[in-house]
Every structure is written in C-alpha cells, then in structure tokens.
Amino acid sequence: MTGKAERRSEWPLVLSGLVALTGLVTLTFYDWRNGVLIFAGGVLLAALLRLSLSDAAAGLLRVRGRMFDIALLAGVGAAIGLLGLIVPN
C-alpha cells in the first residue's frame, strides 16, 4: 500500500525530524547550547504530536502504546533540554 493515506501519515515524523536536524546543524556550525535546545524542541514536538494526533494520523511516531510513546519522548526531550541548560560553557 503506497497510497496517499500512507504518505500523509509520515508528516509528523518528518516535521519533528526537520526540527531536530535544524538543531544538529545549529550545534555543529553555530552555538552548541542553542542547537541542543532546538534538538530537544524537536523531540518534545514529536511528543506533542503523538499526544494530539490519533494513532492512524501519528503514522511512524506510533511505536508502542500511546502513553509509553508520549512518556518516552517527553522524558528524553526534557532530559536533553535540561542538560543543555545545566552544562556550563
């Protein structure tokens, strides 16, 4: 099934991946702290999208159960953001 509905369900992963990729480019070429925070924002965006979208619309963000996915993504995103803020220059 390579139909239109299957391609449409990939946009949440692509969107959060693009934000995370922007964070990786920022931390590589510009300021590491801002890059880490943008990357954490991409992971938190994935958690927010998984929370707000149905299972069918979440597409490739759906790995396990809804609560497990949300808890894991939010926990990892918060941990990366917190570490980005705590680590001294």
Residue 40 lies inside a defined structural domain of this protein = yes
| Cβ count within 10 A of residue 5 | 10
2 domain residue, yes or no? no
The tens digit of pLDDT for each residue in 28-81 reads 999 899 999 999 999 999 999 999 988 888 888 888 889 999 999 999 999 999
Instruction: Please state the three-class secondary structure of 4-68 as a single string.
Output: HHHHHCCHHHHHHHHHHHHHHHHHHHCCHHHHHHHHHHHHHHHHHHHHHCCHHHHHHHCCCCHHH
What is the structure's pLDDT at 25?
94
CA distance 38 to 64: 25
| Residue 54 pLDDT | 84
Task: Please give the tally of structural domains in the chain.
Answer: 1
- Tell whether 20 is covered by a domain: yes
Give the model's confidence band at 9: pLDDT under 50 very low, under 70 low, under 90 confident, else very high.
confident
Question: Would 15 be classed as within a structural domain?
Answer: yes
Could you tell me the pTM of the whole model? Answer: 0.85
In a domain, residue 19? The reply is yes
Encoding tokens for residue 36? 């880490």
Using only the alpha carbons of the chain, give its radius of gyration: 14
In a domain, 1, yes or no: no
